[in-house]
Structure 1
Amino acid sequence: MTDGVEQVEYTGPRQAVEEAGATAVLVSPKTDVVQGFNHVDKGDEFSVELPIGQASVDDFDALVLPGGVVNADALRTDAAAVEFARGFFAAHKPVGAICHAPWTLIEAGVVDGRTLTSWPSLQTDLRNAGANWVDEEVHVDKGFVTSRKPDDIPAFAAKLIEEIAEGPYQGQHI
């Protein structure tokens, strides 16, 4: 994630996976802190724990992409962030994306043929990229967990933890 992240879409899932016994690591194109937002108002700052240039898909069991318009828009234009996200799909590892986060995955070329949800304004972008968009609280497609908005975080986190516990998807991935 990077500046402009929707704060609760980071803190909610992170707390849930940590409470489930997993270790979460904030990976970012930035090297110091990321500015969170509560919709349009500045929120907290979060310390970057691993710069994207030092991150390897092999070192992680899953990827969680929080939303936030500014965050997602910045990540989809960052080549290292896009490649990092693409790597989780290539490795068949679970991926969670909420709200505007699927923008990064459109750029990564991994949504074609998948069914997913997101913030409603992304549905045309996702359909144009070959995805089947659905309006659901949470949707799982072969280890890929998506949700629409902050209100969906409890369902999103529960499915995400379930997918992480199951490990890499054994079927064919994009």
Structure 2
Amino acid sequence: MPNIAEAKVLIISTHGFEQSELEFPRDQLRAKGAEVHVATLDGKAIKGWEGSDWGREAEADLKIEDANPHDYDALVIPGGQINPDLLRVEEPVLALVRTFHDQGKVVAAVCHAPWVLIEAGIVAGRRMTCYTSIRTDLENAGAKVMDTSVVADNGIVTSRQPDDLKDFVSKIVEEIEEGTHGRKAA
């Protein structure tokens, strides 16, 4: 079984990510010893959203299209309304999500980020959770939606909102340490 201290995690995001939903997982996973990279659409720093205005920048390590899923144990997608809405129309993002999924690696999405998983076609039949306003979107895509802080279904980890981030990160660690998850391609 892999140990979190030996894991590599990729966070994908663009402008408008919910500040805490990128920073908390990034910083907590790093504190646990994981190597964490942030990939953005252009490989440049991105600006978060905090409260009712723009927040702090997050540095980028690489471009999303340059990320090699074989190099990572898990993929994390922060929410916010803006970030996942912009990501879900980008084919390199969807291809990356599908590859992580098809390789049985952990795919984690919080808040509005399950929109990206819907677009990638990997939610049908799965138990998941999400932010209240996208619950119907997830149900219409075939997911079994639950109202709980975190849900893991065969390595797909979802949470509802910033208040759930401690549970979200704990479940990501647990799923990484379980190793790859056998699943059928979407």
Q: TM-score, normalised by structure 1?
A: 0.96
8 Å contact kept, 2:102–2:183: no
8 Å contact kept, 2:125–2:143: yes
Identity of aligned residues (%): 42
Q: Does 1:67 align with 2:54?
A: no
Tell me how far 1:30 sits from its aligned partner: 2.3
Q: Does 1:13 align with 2:25?
A: yes
- Output the aligned Cα RMSD: 1.2
Give the alignment of 1:162-173 within 5 angstroms: 162-170=174-182, 172=184
Tell me how far 1:14 sits from its aligned partner: 1.1
Range moving further from structure 2, 12-21 or 73-82: 12-21
The one-letter code matched in structure 1 to 2:90 is D
8 Å contact kept, 1:6–1:68: yes
User: Could you report, residue by residue, the CA deviation over 1:126-153 in whole angstroms, capped at 9, with x for unpaired residues?
Assistant: 1111111111111110011110000000
Q: Does 1:111 align with 2:147?
A: no
The one-letter code matched in structure 2 to 1:109 is G
> Structure 2: which 5+ runs fail to align?
1-12
Counterpart-to-counterpart distance in 2, 1:79 and 1:170: 24
Other-structure match for 1:99: 111
* Aligned with residue 36 of structure 1, among 45, 48, 66: 48
The one-letter code matched in structure 1 to 2:130 is S
User: Could you report, residue by residue, the CA deviation over 1:91-115 in whole angstroms, capped at 9, with x for unpaired residues?
Assistant: 0001111000000010000001111
Q: Does 1:22 align with 2:34?
A: yes
User: Could you report, residue by residue, the CA deviation over 1:49-68 in whole angstroms, capped at 9, with x for unpaired residues?
Assistant: 11012111111110001001
Tell me how far 1:170 sits from its aligned partner: 3.5
Task: Give aligned pairs, total.
Answer: 174
The one-letter code matched in structure 1 to 2:113 is A
Cα 1:41/1:89, change in 2 over 3 Å: same
Residue 16 of structure 1 aligns to a residue whose secondary structure is helix
Tell me how far 1:173 sits from its aligned partner: 6.0
Tell me how far 1:85 sits from its aligned partner: 1.0
8 Å contact kept, 2:43–2:60: yes
Q: TM-score, normalised by structure 2?
A: 0.90
8 Å contact kept, 1:92–1:173: no
Moved over 3 A (4+): 170-174
Other-structure match for 1:124: 136
